Structure 1
């Protein structure tokens, strides 16, 4: 079986697990009930910031892999989903391998995104505009259950090893030469022309909303990463600088911020850029 077909089979098995488990079904229902859409015009109320210094980590882990130890130790963890703005789960039903698809193969996230309400309020709105830069909309989904290993070939975990995280679903600017494809339909037909300065400012504006939403919902640990630096072709150096600028403003709300920048041995460009800007090689 080729990798794409294997990914589809793994995803279908995950959906079958949810259907067969009352506990997972209840988790999905609870997540959907408490899921929030933050639109750009909406101010996000912030709590009082914490007093303890925030620890910043740059790792080469996958997103849920990074989140698991914190979540299992009782911390409230929020993970950023580098999302498709026009398709729930991106290309997960087609076996794609970007970060959002990996999250959906391991957890209860997909059925929370693939609802009539989210289609109407989030995905169809982005399809109508056809702007590859999208906007600063984000979804906050609490209590997502991870029930498979966050590995290249996810495997079922015993129920005692399941854990929960909150997830922010937000789309980075789509800088592909052909923005629209099967995973990102109606994303525009022409490539975006944007200067590095404008992209940096746009990323900062969008990421500020991410930090605000996580803080507003009481996250203690924030799992971030190379937002838009894969399929959406954002330069990692610019994105890392934008994260650093925003983090300086909001770090006091969190105990730990981990940039989980998964990379293979032969493709460390994203990790190297984030490590240079935000971390130090361990």
Structure 2
């Protein structure tokens, strides 16, 4: 097992720990103790091959919100407030967890280090033939992933009280074709279908809150201005009474990636998402 300080662990230490475990196990945490079970639980994850074909939502009546937070911590806050949120796993289309085994640090890798999501995607699947890559407008719905570690800032310490959260795994375009640092029109239209797929899946499965992020705006090099605008449009057109929180950690990387606008990623999304509050007839968010 990897070298740890108390119950915390570094990303590299996590990789070493992960490689020491057998591949087909279910991890169930009780406080700071873990029990390994050899039998995988029942299949739960479901592939929706084209989420954009699901019924369209209704115009948004609850303003969207952009927060400086981790997606799982934001989901936990919503759970504590009595909501039933679903988290967008900003996935690698070809490999569950992306590069989390090698120490990569994007949002998907973070989710996989802190939960049993990889097991849900690889083994707890209703369609036995489900194989990566995820289809272009496909979404994998996992109704209950167990989160048992804290955030990277918390050094991935074991949680004293693990919690369950629903997850939607969908992939943005990886380094799409740009024109003058802007998504080409065909990619903008397709990205809108991707966001529609996520929103419609969340509504289809009865969730009253969605935690999104700066989808594809990191290593996948999608311009944040374009993604934020498309996301804001779809939320306004289809989110209905569902709470939509966009969780983005404001750090060195997010401040450095200023895009065309010259402002940080989180401010880019705030300008797009929260500007639509004006004229809303919703209750207070």
Taking structure 2 as the reference length, the TM-score comes to: 0.75
1:214 aligns to what? 202
The Cα shift of 1:53 comes to 3.2
CA contact (8 A) 1:46 1:216 kept: no
Aligned residue for 1:274, secondary structure, equals helix
Which structure has the larger Rg?
Answer: 2
The alignment's C-alpha RMSD in Å is: 3.4
- The answer for unaligned runs of 5 or more in structure 1 is 127-133, 177-191
1:157 aligns to what? 159
> Greater share of helix residues, 1 or 2?
1
Q: 2:35 & 2:244 partners in 1: Cα distance?
A: 30
CA contact (8 A) 1:85 1:122 kept: no
1:99 aligns to what? 107
CA contact (8 A) 2:85 2:165 kept: yes
**Number of matched pairs:** 250
2:147 aligns to what? 146
Between 163-172 and 261-270, the greater mean CA deviation after superposition: 261-270
Q: 2:266 & 2:17 partners in 1: Cα distance?
A: 27
Q: 1:53 & 1:24 partners in 2: Cα distance?
A: 45
Q: Map 1:108-123 to 2 at 5 A.
A: 108-115=116-123, 120-123=129-132
Taking structure 1 as the reference length, the TM-score comes to: 0.76
- The answer for unaligned runs of 5 or more in structure 2 is 4-8, 256-263, 276-285
Q: Map 1:30-45 to 2 at 5 A.
A: 30=42, 33-40=43-50, 43-45=53-55
> Greater share of strand residues, 1 or 2?
2
Aligned residue for 1:29, secondary structure, equals coil
Q: 2:84 & 2:265 partners in 1: Cα distance?
A: 27
Residue among 229, 233, 241 paired with 1:245: 233
Aligned residue for 2:136, secondary structure, equals coil
1:67 and 2:75 aligned: yes
CA contact (8 A) 1:58 1:258 kept: yes
The Cα shift of 1:73 comes to 3.4
Q: 1:24 & 1:249 partners in 2: Cα distance?
A: 45
CA contact (8 A) 2:56 2:238 kept: no
Q: 1:240 & 1:14 partners in 2: Cα distance?
A: 39
